[in-house]
Amino acid sequence: MTDWLEADSPERIDLSSHAIVEASAGTGKTYTLEHLVLQLLEQAETTLEQILVVTFTDKATGELKQRIRALIVERLADNPQHIALREALASFDRAQIMTIHGFCKQILFQHAFENRLPLESEISNQKAIAERLFAQHLRTVWANEYLPGLPTDAQLQILEQEFFRRPILELTEKLRPENRLLPQVPDLDERCDVLDRILGSLSEILGPVAEPVELTQFYQQYSKLDFSRTEQKGGLRSADVLSKLIRPLLSCLREYELVGTTNEEVLARLNTWYGQISYKRFLDEGFDLLVPPRYQPEGLGDACPAFAPALPLLKRLGLELQPLRAMRAQPGLTLAVREIQALRQELAEYKNARGLISYDDMLTSLSTALNPAKNDQADALVRVLRQRYRIAFVDEFQDTDETQWEIFARLFAESADGHRLCLIGDPKQAIYGFRGADIATYRRAVTRLHKDFGAPHYVLPTNWR
């Protein structure tokens, strides 16, 4: 970021517009913030209740309240007739200095109608609820669904890794959509349905090949395929492909026809097939190895007509099997992801059914309430809040996340009526990455406020420690 302005005193920061104040440790961040609030009060253009000051801990909130109040008292000692300061001191118990969660809670409960929140919502202990639901899952879903489908060694591996329970609970409670921390895992039922259809089509095409006469003819045709151009790349031979790939495939299709088509049976057949395959290169590179490049996409129909219609299906089968192979390779990770997703959904349903809301829910609920695309009362709520607040200071902004930034941007930065937003922080001190805060969010917010809304970028130059 260019055009940084050194602010060696709070008076150098212009509060007639948005502002960004970058303050390293020891440069007087809190001193600057409290004097900026005092500056607004002395100018008598903004009342104390119209100034929103948000920070991230209850301790910091308490200290900031004490310091601002003490500063007002000190100035009144020098000028006891200052009306605006006297009014600010008299109404100080209504000062809007709070944590981000406190701010969200206040707005949500005071404006329950506009944000679609149940009128009697109760603050919940989300951690305790998640622990109870997870304990139920271990006794039911894990015991009856997750573990029985795994080999015994994989079951023991997961059960012995007790440490996996704590990350599951922490991610269930703290994860937000913007985190994007969870790896994607396939929907097992959906994937098996696709595999079932592919195997059914392959069975219709290659089923007759399993008959002795047709099988001999097929082997003769396939053996004549010219792999010479691929031999230079790894020594492929048609005899190897036949023995290590084709025969296990035909065996799998025969078992598929005889046994059935439930999801468990589909996976069992495919697992058996993979267990029979001894060609590691095939597992790495896929079904393209079954046919030399010179026969693709045309030419195979003349050289090996029995196999030509099966090749596109086999390629698709290979693509569909890739995520299932990953699941098989890391069963613990796969089940953990599935559990987190299921637990988060059940946790949300549990709270909704009982009118409960957690502190982290408050952030997403307020962001949703302010979004016209998600709430038809959003514009009305924004108008009410802009009438209440004229300026917002967000302390420790390096510890914000995307949801919090969306809230303040909507209320203050995007206002065309002179509302102002002052972001104060130090990206070098970001500590709440686990909760969704990250330097990327900080930088995006700062860049947008600077470029799109004309906010000067100040830096406190002197370390007073």
Query: What is the per-residue pLDDT across 25-62, written as a single tens digit (0 to 9) for each?
Result: 889 899 999 999 999 999 988 999 999 999 989 999 99
Q: Which two tokens stand for residue 464?
A: 């007073």
Q: Which two tokens stand for residue 451?
A: 């470029």
pLDDT-derived band at 433 (thresholds 50, 70, 90) equals very low
Query: What is the per-residue pLDDT across 172-187, written as a single tens digit (0 to 9) for each?
Result: 877 765 555 555 555 6
Any idea which of 183-187, 268-272, 373-377 has the lowest mean pLDDT?
A: 183-187
Q: Tell which residue, 320, 270, 319, 310, has the closest CA to residue 290.
A: 310
For the entire predicted model, the pTM comes to 0.66
More confident residue, 435 or 220: 220
Q: Tell which residue, 176, 173, 181, has the closest CA to residue 131.
A: 173
The kind and range of the H/E element at 55 are: strand 51-55
More confident residue, 245 or 184: 245
Q: CA 93 to CA 51: how far, in whole Å?
A: 13
Q: Which two tokens stand for residue 175?
A: 């994860």
Domains and CATH numbers, the chain: 4-99+381-459 (3.40.50.300), 126-181+331-354 (no CATH), 188-329 (no CATH)
Torsion of CA 83, 85, 87, 90, to 10 degrees: -140
Across residues 18-26, what is the average pLDDT? 91
